[in-house]
Amino acid sequence: MTPEESRAQVVNAARDIVRILGLKGVSAHFSRESCNDQAVAPFRGVVGIAYDHAPTLEESRAEIQRMLAVLKQQGWTDPGDFHTHAPAVSKQGVTAVFDAYSPVQNFGGSVTIYGECRDMTTKENTVPEPIPADQLK
């Protein structure tokens, strides 16, 4: 998989999620990360999406459960062998991990999309770069 293909894989998945869920107030960023502890190939594309989330932890968790149900109706499935403690769904080699908003930590209310570990060309992790809003429509 080329670096361009690994980017397209996760940006397309982000676009799918934003569209299906009708997320509002969306901002997103793209980066590449190594799939191992040595920061060497293989790499994968990663998109982080922030959105207008529910205001409490309990409401955010319920909101995420509703989102997962909607995505599963649209062909997303349980994440298989992708290991996470957060709610997640997968489709076509991509996994979306949902992080509930915590007002105590003032953190969360986001989705992180991980692509396949198949980019053997990239040489290092990259700094997150903003994705223009029109690329998510």
Question: Per residue, what are the HEC states of the chain?
Answer: CCHHHHHHHHHHHHHHHHHHHCCCCCEEEEEEEECCCCCCCCEEEEEEEECCCCCCHHHHHHHHHHHHHHHHHCCCECCCCCCCCCCEEEECCEEEEEECCECCCCECCEEEEECCCCECCCCCCCCCEECCHHHHC
Tokens of 127: 């700094």
The reported pTM is 0.94
Quick one: pLDDT at residue 53?
A: 95
Asked if the model's pLDDT at residue 83 lies above 90, the reply is no
Domain of residue 118 covers 3-136
Q: What is the pLDDT of residues 8-51, one digit of tens each?
A: 999 999 999 999 999 999 999 999 999 998 889 999 999 999 99
pLDDT of the residue at 29: 98
Tens digits of residue pLDDT in 66-79: 999 999 999 999 98
Rounded CA gap, 41 and 125, in Å? 10
Q: Taking a C-beta distance cutoff of 8 angstroms, is the pair 88, 97 a contact?
A: yes
Domain count, the chain: 1
d(CA 16, CA 19) in angstroms, rounded, equals 5
According to DSSP, the residues that pair with 90 across neighbouring strands are 77, 95
Summarised one tens digit per residue, pLDDT across range 87-119 is 999 999 999 999 999 988 888 899 999 999 999
